[in-house]
Amino acid sequence: MKKHAEKAMTQTQRAAAELRELSGLTKEAIEGLLSPNTRRAYLSTWRDFVAWCAALQLAPLPASSETIVAYVANLAREGLRASSIDRALAAIATVHKVAGHESPRRATIVQLARKAWRRKLGTAKRGKAPILALQLRAMSDAAGTDLRGKRDRAIVLLAWHGAFRRSEVSALNACDLRFEPEGLTVTLRRSKSDQESEGARVGIPYGGHLATCAVRAVQSWIEAASAYGLAPEAPSPPLFVTLPGRGRVRKLGGERLDGKDIGRIVQRLALRAGLDIPRGDVGAHSLRAGLVTQAARAGKPIQSILKQTRHRTLAVLLDYIRDADLYRDNAAAGLGT
């Protein structure tokens, strides 16, 4: 019994050492290929997989197709959705490729197991509820007029009109903005759909209502923040920074808000505005989804929406547009019932 425990511990230690080595290798090899969030998620998933393999005395690298099938079944039993299992398989496959091994995901038995679990678990997507124009106005009104309110209003209005992801809002620097007669030009240096850092420019026009004008809200935040040390002309000061939880602001520290901070701000304003949306259905993505849905309902051309959202394919965008069209010229309406 003691020898068995010592053998298991040795294998666990060996796996841990291998993981440390691979983590460094993976990080170095895919530094320019994956976004930081994806890279962190993949490494976290790989650690979980190695720990699971160590507990069962299985080799994580290269992993046999039988090991992968068993791991998929384990994830399904733990309650993971089909999309989460697919992400785990992608992470494991990436580490194998980086280490010079064949991707275990290609094995026929793994593909069959994946399809079986997808049928059993279902693949219907549950995205965040879209925040529409009237709801956006209520959130803007609920933000307040102090420094925190100006910051939060600028964040939600800019993210909505630019159809920005939370990571894109977080990564913005003050120097990425250019105010022009037509509105505000935002330069994205890198985004989820731009892994090669080609960059993209997004136009934010002046709004017809002061309460929901993203351009004026961003101007108001920059003017207010400049009085506390934000220097828009500097090379790379973060546009949106953290504020003290309590007490009077004396000087902005310059710590950048991250994506989770952006999500919490959206949830807080939605709650304060009393939106009739379950809290779990509201997040930063609600702003991006809201712009697409509102634009589709207004009859904006698909190419115009695609230009603003920067989707590389129509597939995801069309999901939003189909939802927006559910009640337009509905066959069940006006039938005298």
What secondary structure letter does DSSP report for 130?
P
Burial class of residue 80, CB neighbours in 10 A (0-12, 13-18, 19+): middle
What span, in angstroms and rounded, lies between the C-alpha atoms of 153 and 104? 47
Answer whether the bond into residue 205 is a cis peptide, omega within 30°. no
The one catalytic residue in 27, 137, 192, 268 is 192
Token couple for 300: 């904006």
Please indicate whether residue 311 is annotated as part of the active site: yes
Please indicate whether residue 165 is annotated as part of the active site: yes
At residue 108, what is the residue type? T
Strand order in the sheet with 200-205: 177-180, 183-188, 200-205
154 and 214 in contact (C-beta within 8 Å)? yes
> In which element (H, E) is residue 88 found?
helix 82-98
SS3 for 128?
A: coil
162 and 204 in contact (C-beta within 8 Å)? yes
Indicate the pTM of the whole model: 0.64
319 and 123 in contact (C-beta within 8 Å)? no
Domains of the chain: 2-121 (1.10.150.130), 133-324 (1.10.443.10)
At residue 85, what is the residue type? I
The one catalytic residue in 151, 153, 288, 310 is 288
174 and 152 in contact (C-beta within 8 Å)? no
Tens-place pLDDT, residues 144-201: 999 999 999 999 999 999 999 999 999 999 889 999 999 999 999 875 554 455 678 9
SS3 for 236?
A: coil
The one catalytic residue in 96, 165, 166, 310 is 165
- The number of helix segments (H) and strand segments (E) in the chain equals 13, 3
What span, in angstroms and rounded, lies between the C-alpha atoms of 156 and 148? 12
**pLDDT for 271:** 93
Tens-place pLDDT, residues 76-106: 888 777 778 888 888 888 888 877 888 888 8
Please indicate whether residue 228 is annotated as part of the active site: no
Average pLDDT over residues 15-24: 52
Please indicate whether residue 192 is annotated as part of the active site: yes
What span, in angstroms and rounded, lies between the C-alpha atoms of 131 and 118? 30
pLDDT category at 281 given cuts 50, 70, 90 is confident
Please indicate whether residue 101 is annotated as part of the active site: no
The one catalytic residue in 128, 161, 166, 285 is 285
pLDDT category at 121 given cuts 50, 70, 90 is low
SS3 for 191?
A: strand
